Amino acid sequence: MEFLIETILSGLMAGVMYSLVALGFVLIFKASGIFNFAQGVMCLFAALTFAGIMEKTGLPWPIAFVMTIGVMVFVAWAVERFVLRHLVNQEPIILFMVTIGLAYVLEGVGDILWGSDVKVLDIGLPSGASDYMLDNFNIYVEKLEVFAALIAAVLVGFLAIFFQKTRIGRALRAVADDHQAALSVGISLQTIWVIVWSVAGFVALVAGTLWGAKSGVQFSLSLIALKALPVLILGGFTSIPGAIVGGLIIGVGEKLAEIYVGPFVGGAIENWFAYMLALAFLLVRPQGLFGERIIERV
Amino acid sequence: MSAFVEPARMAGHSGMAKGEVLLRVDNVSLSFGGVKAITNISFDIVKGEVRAIIGPNGAGKTSMLNVINGFYHPQEGTIAWRGKVRRKMKPYEAASNGIARTFQNVALFKGMTTLDNIMTGRGLKMKKNFLWQCLHWGPALTEENEHRRKVEEIIDFLEIQAIRKTPVGRLPYGLQKRVELARALAMEPELLLLDEPMAGMNLEEKEDMSRFILDVNQQFGTTIALIEHDMGVVMDLSDRVVVLDYGRKIADGPPDEVQASQDVIDAYLGVPHEH
């Protein structure tokens, strides 16, 4: 019984980490209809910059963190100024291709600026097993993962309020819905894009930091973006709660599958289980659990 | 409804008096590649009037509206807003200068509720700091509530209380048009551009819409420029009419005068065109 709970818990915690990456995708997709392939690389780039600034300047981490936020806002501005602005009203597939290019550019720039060796991101995040859980329930839980879950919860709460209740959140949703109408009520597309890419950059920084603290900042970090895809398909591309729930389902699902189904098929299920689940979902519920169903009067 | 009328607003934001020229279009030409959409058109819109722009399909009416609210920038000619010739104006700048509009094929935020749609119209009036807004607390909350009150007044005015929380994608067409008008009104515009506000409506809906347009004009003193195909509506509502055909202006004046013009009759009845 303890083992089952432990598996589920560790699945949930891993799921939270996927959710954080997926969140970044959802934000940009929601506000601009662009599937941002570069989101994973943005996590990597943010974590690299964060670790790099600390390594080269020796500044304490909060200052380095704020500086990294500055860098991500600059990236957002540059993306709007030099890329998106020139591609208004283009087909989604063209914008998608652009984000693939952007992924390579960011990866290259990160490499040039900070080098390609694995960096340790030591900012004093809690690590090791939680003694409390081990002593009282005989369950092994990583402190870092609990911390990540807390951070994710705060972030999601903040984003939900931001999107639903604020003027800018409303403007973001408006832009996602209809460009012309948004312009006519006085929303500047350019400003909105910079804001949304900045927020996505911030989420990438948080996700990258947590992943980096867990397994070091290395270039394979950008590949976790691929794990975010099934999360998105499950949760729906436009839903923030969907990204969270999707991440949790994938996290728990793959751990359980590995342990209870794995032995029968020779193991290593964890690597592909998420994609199979996503495929199954596409067949039954293509808009995802929380995705907006397109309602159109004909 | 009466609470909605504020004497201060009757005079308009710019303090211009009724009858002064609010917007003047001078010798404007617009083309897309080789296609001329608008050729050398001049007319003006006077503060407080209802100005109709009519003409057969493809006459350049919607293009004209798009020029006025900054979607298109004409290659030639000038546009003066409140007496000042404006440079290339982006749509959101036009909006913050008091120009609101609706669209021919309803352009609403379909995933959002009626209330949220109308609230987007208040966006320009909300000034509180971004951080306060994220906290959703303190001054930002007070501000949000104030704007919410204004929006409720507009909802009452247009009699759409019942659909307040409905996602607009689910509403019938006539109501969507009304929500779109509500969103434009929420901006408290000085000039309201309506692109075929009654297209696709039944008789009753048309009558309602006509009444709302007149009320907006008379109670709030909002200047209105509208495109409409229903001649009965145009003749009833408008103070002055400008008629376009093939991107050119063929008549301009009070409704009955325009109606009697031979050029207009030809354009509508389809006399062979000389190029």
Secondary structure (DSSP) of A4-25: HHHHHHHHHHHHHHHHHHHHHH
The sign one gets for the Cα dihedral B164, B167, B172, B176 is positive
Tell me the per-residue pLDDT of A32-73, one tens digit each, with 9 for 90 and over.
778 888 998 999 999 999 999 988 888 888 899 999 999 999
B89 occurs within a structural domain: yes
Q: DSSP strand E in chain B: where? A: 21-32, 35-46, 50-54, 76-81, 84-85, 99-101, 191-195, 223-227, 240-245, 248-253
Domain match, B229 and B248 both: yes
**pLDDT at position A244:** 87
Domain match, B94 and B215 both: yes
Is A69 buried (19+), middle (13-18) or exposed (0-12) by CB count in 10 A?
A: middle
Tell me the per-residue pLDDT of A101-125, one tens digit each, with 9 for 90 and over.
999 999 999 989 888 888 887 777 7
Tell me the CA distances in angstroms from A271 to A51, A257, A275, A276, B141, one per residue in order.
28, 11, 8, 10, 47
B184 occurs within a structural domain: yes
CB B169 within 8 A of CB A296: yes
Domain match, B7 and B84 both: yes
CB contact under 8 A, B95 and A183: yes
Domain match, B138 and B196 both: no
The DSSP letter of residue B229 is: S
B71 occurs within a structural domain: yes
pLDDT at B9 over 60: no
Domain match, B204 and B167 both: no
Spatial CA neighbour of A230 closest among A215, A212, A249, A211: A249
Domain match, B199 and B85 both: yes
Asked if B238 is an interface residue toward chain A (Cβ–Cβ < 8 A), one would say no
pLDDT band at B7 (very low <50, low <70, confident <90, very high): very low
A294 occurs within a structural domain: no
A14 occurs within a structural domain: yes
pLDDT at B11 over 50: no
**pLDDT at position A59:** 86
Tell me the per-residue pLDDT of B25-66, one tens digit each, with 9 for 90 and over.
999 999 988 888 999 999 999 999 999 999 888 888 999 999
CB contact under 8 A, A295 and B96: no
Q: Which of B96, B110, B144 faces A177 most closely, judged by CB atoms?
A: B110
Q: Domain range spanning residue B138? A: 110-188
pLDDT at B273 over 70: no
pLDDT band at B146 (very low <50, low <70, confident <90, very high): confident
Domain match, B160 and B196 both: no
Distance in angstroms (rounded) separating the CA atoms of residues B89 and A287: 39
Strands B223-227 and B191-195 turn out to be parallel
CB contact under 8 A, B136 and A292: no
Asked if B13 is an interface residue toward chain A (Cβ–Cβ < 8 A), one would say no
**pLDDT at position B272:** 65
pLDDT at A188 over 70: yes
CB contact under 8 A, B120 and A162: no
Cα angle A30, A101, A175 (rounded to 5 degrees) comes to 20
Which chain B residues are Cβ-neighbours of A180 within 8 angstroms? 71, 103, 107
Tell me the per-residue pLDDT of A124-151, one tens digit each, with 9 for 90 and over.
777 777 777 777 777 777 788 888 888 8
The stretch B151-165 carries a mean pLDDT of 91
Tell me the per-residue pLDDT of B55-92, one tens digit each, with 9 for 90 and over.
888 888 999 999 998 989 999 999 999 888 887 888 88
The stretch A222-235 carries a mean pLDDT of 84
Spatial CA neighbour of B190 closest among B62, B101, B90: B101
pLDDT band at B241 (very low <50, low <70, confident <90, very high): very high
A96 occurs within a structural domain: yes
Distance in angstroms (rounded) separating the CA atoms of residues A191 and A193: 5
Which chain B residues are Cβ-neighbours of A167 within 8 angstroms? 122-123, 126, 133, 144
Domain end (from B142, B169, B188): B188
Distance in angstroms (rounded) separating the CA atoms of residues A238 and A89: 20
A59 occurs within a structural domain: yes
How many domains are contained in chain B? 2
pLDDT at B245 over 80: yes
Domain match, B15 and B83 both: yes
B105 occurs within a structural domain: no
CB contact under 8 A, B100 and A295: no
**pLDDT at position B67:** 92
Distance in angstroms (rounded) separating the CA atoms of residues A45 and A72: 9
Q: What is the largest CA-CA distance in chain A?
A: 62
CB contact under 8 A, B71 and A180: yes
Asked if B100 is an interface residue toward chain A (Cβ–Cβ < 8 A), one would say yes
Q: What are phi and psi of B243, to 5 degrees?
A: -110, 125
A263 occurs within a structural domain: no
Q: What is the largest CA-CA distance in chain B?
A: 67
Chain A residues 159-178 with a CB less than 8 Å from chain B:
161-162, 165-168, 170-171, 173-174, 176-178
**pLDDT at position A5:** 85
Q: Which of A167, A177, A292 faces B123 most closely, judged by CB atoms?
A: A167
pLDDT at B5 over 70: no
Residue that is written with structure tokens 């990540």 in the block: A148
Q: Which of B134, B167, B187 faces A186 most closely, judged by CB atoms?
A: B187
The DSSP letter of residue B14 is: T
How many domains are contained in chain A? 1
Conformational region of residue B83, where left means phi above 0, alpha means psi within -120 to 50, and beta covers everything else: left
Mean pLDDT of chain B: 85
Mean pLDDT of chain A: 85
Q: Which of A184, A292, A295 faces B95 most closely, judged by CB atoms?
A: A184
Sequence length of chain B is: 275
Instruction: Provide the whole-model pTM.
Output: 0.79
**pLDDT at position A198:** 93
Spatial CA neighbour of B80 closest among B65, B68, B72: B68
Which chain A residues are Cβ-neighbours of B184 within 8 angstroms? 184-185
Residue A258 CB-half CA count within 13 A = 16
Tell me the per-residue pLDDT of B116-142, one tens digit each, with 9 for 90 and over.
899 988 888 776 555 565 555 666 777
pLDDT at A158 over 50: yes
Query: Which residues are paired to B26 by β-bridges?
Result: B78
**pLDDT at position B225:** 94
Domain match, B93 and B156 both: no
Percent of chain B with pLDDT over 90: 40
Distance in angstroms (rounded) separating the CA atoms of residues B58 and B5: 38
Tell me the per-residue pLDDT of B85-121, one tens digit each, with 9 for 90 and over.
887 888 888 998 899 999 988 889 888 899 989 998 8
B247 CA to chain A: closest CA distance, Å? 23
- Secondary structure (DSSP) of B72-138: S--SEEEEEETTEE--S--HHHHHHTTEEE--SS----TTSBHHHHHHHTTGGG----HHHHHHT-T
B79 occurs within a structural domain: yes
Domain match, B82 and B162 both: no
Which chain A residues are Cβ-neighbours of B170 within 8 angstroms? 295, 297
Judged by DSSP in three states, B21 sits in strand
**Beta-carbon neighbour count of residue A291 at 10 Å?**
19
Q: Domain range spanning residue A96? A: 2-221
**pLDDT at position B194:** 94
Q: What are phi and psi of B85, to 5 degrees?
A: -65, 125
Torsion on CA atoms A44, A155, A241, A121, rounded to nearest 10: 30
Chain B residues 148-177 with a CB less than 8 Å from chain A:
167, 169-170, 172-173
Spatial CA neighbour of A205 closest among A194, A221, A192, A184: A221
Asked if B71 is an interface residue toward chain A (Cβ–Cβ < 8 A), one would say yes
Tell me the per-residue pLDDT of B188-213, one tens digit each, with 9 for 90 and over.
999 999 999 988 888 898 999 999 99
Sheet architecture: strand order including B50-54: B99-101, B191-195, B223-227, B50-54, B240-245, B248-253
Which chain A residues are Cβ-neighbours of B127 within 8 angstroms? none
Which chain A residues are Cβ-neighbours of B183 within 8 angstroms? 185
A246 occurs within a structural domain: no
A158 occurs within a structural domain: yes
Q: Which of A161, A177, A188 faces B92 most closely, judged by CB atoms?
A: A188
Interface pTM (ipTM) of the complex? 0.80
CB A198 within 8 A of CB A72: yes
B104 occurs within a structural domain: no
A266 occurs within a structural domain: no
Tell me the CA distances in angstroms from A259 to A155, A170, A277, one per residue in order.
31, 44, 16
Q: Which residue would you say has higher pLDDT here, A288 or A297? A: A288
Judged by DSSP in three states, A112 sits in helix
Domain match, B197 and B133 both: no
pLDDT band at B8 (very low <50, low <70, confident <90, very high): very low
Q: What are phi and psi of B21, to 5 degrees?
A: -75, 120
pLDDT at A96 over 80: yes
CB contact under 8 A, A170 and B120: yes
Domain of B75, CATH number, reads 3.40.50.300
Domain match, B87 and B126 both: no
Sequence length of chain A is: 298
The stretch A210-222 carries a mean pLDDT of 82
